[in-house]
Structure 1
Amino acid sequence: MDTCGDIQVKELNKRASGHAFEVILSPSNTDAKEFPLSPLNKKETSLDEIKRKLDAAEERRKSQGAEVLKQLAEKKEHVKEVQQKAIEESCNFKKTAQEKLNQKMETYEENRTAWMAAQNEKFKEKDKKLEEVKNKKAMGKLICL
């Protein structure tokens, strides 16, 4: 057993896996005072001090409750704003979609009207040629007679 100042080291049984030691710490002053677990001179708390502390605790609870209510109100307002924005975006989307559809329908109607006019013109030309052929044929029969 070795002693070095306040530390005592005692070697235990040697093993194949290694060495084992026991370290013993001794107090530096044997006549030093030990500290008590609670203070010796405990101050008496007065009724006024207890009331003051209770009032302060109640004020903290009220303040915390008010803060929670304020945060809830802010979240509720944020939800309203998000919902309003979503409704506005939906309305804008519907409006632009309706305008695009109307534009396509107008273009379709214009194209259809132009196609119908071209078809009518084509049929009128065919009718004219048919009339000319009939007239030529009728004239040919008249001449032959």
Structure 2
Amino acid sequence: MASTLSAYSDKIREMSVLSLICSCLATQPHPNTLVQYEDMEVKTLNKRTSGQAFEVILKSPTDLSPERPQSLALPPQKKEPSLGELQRRLQAAEERRKSQEKQFLKQLAERREHEKEVLHKAQEVHNNYSKMAEEKLNYKMELNKENRTARLNAMKQRLREKEVHAAEVRRNKELQSELSG
């Protein structure tokens, strides 16, 4: 009731003095009334360039006619629920809780299963990568070993060739010294 009274007083402060006087004097609905509710009526004002204008007239609780039901009356008191009704509600709440718990556990299990799958896949990717990296490393090491062996063999061959050449040069010098000698 206090909130309705404060709403009325706020509305009265917002209304212009002329419309307040007119609404107090004219108790019958105006011919341009659009809608009439229990304690207020909405009517159109002259059209303006900015659009349609409406006026809302609030009626005080004393203006309500006796044939209309009073909306401001207190609502009927709720009767206390019976013990059976309380037990039924409690049982329904318990069933909802159990259902929600079961659904939550199901989602949790699905999430764990998904996490296991993701971890397994990540483990596979890691193992494949490690295996590939190891194979590459072994290949490079083998290639380096082959290259080193090939270079070593090439150096040995050049050394042999130089030794053969040096032996030839020495023999030629000896022959030359014998001939000139």
Band the TM-score falls in, shorter-chain normalisation: 0.7 to 0.9
The C-alpha deviation readout for 1:1-39, integer Å capped at 9, x for no partner, is: 2247276xxxxxxxxxxxxxxx75226851112145434
- Is 2:173 aligned against 1:137? yes
Aligned to 1:26, which of 59, 65, 83? 59
For residues 1-145 of structure 1, what are the structure 2 equivalents within 5 Å? Answer: 1-2=21-22, 3=26, 5=29, 24-26=57-59, 29-31=64-66, 32-35=68-71, 36-39=73-76, 45-145=81-181
Q: 2-side partners of 1:111 and 1:37: how far apart?
A: 102
Q: 2-side partners of 1:103 and 1:135: how far apart?
A: 47
CA RMSD, Structure 1 to Structure 2 (Å)? 2.7
The C-alpha deviation readout for 1:102-122, integer Å capped at 9, x for no partner, is: 010111111111111111111
The C-alpha deviation readout for 1:34-78, integer Å capped at 9, x for no partner, is: 1454347x6775443333222222111110111111111112222
Q: Classify 1:64/1:102 alpha carbon distance in 2 versus 1 (closer, same or farther; 3 Å).
A: same
Query: TM-score under structure 2 normalisation?
Result: 0.61
Percentage identity across paired residues of the two chains: 44
Q: 1-side partners of 2:99 and 2:76: how far apart?
A: 34
Q: 1:139: Cα distance to partner? A: 0.9
Q: 2-side partners of 1:37 and 1:116: how far apart?
A: 110
Any unmatched runs of 5+ in structure 1? 8-22
Q: 2-side partners of 1:144 and 1:45: how far apart?
A: 142
Matched residue SS, 2:135:
helix
Q: Classify 1:89/1:37 alpha carbon distance in 2 versus 1 (closer, same or farther; 3 Å).
A: farther
Aligned residue identity for 1:126: K
Matched residue SS, 1:135:
helix
Query: TM-score under structure 1 normalisation?
Result: 0.74
Q: 2-side partners of 1:85 and 1:37: how far apart?
A: 67
Q: Report how many residues are paired.
A: 130
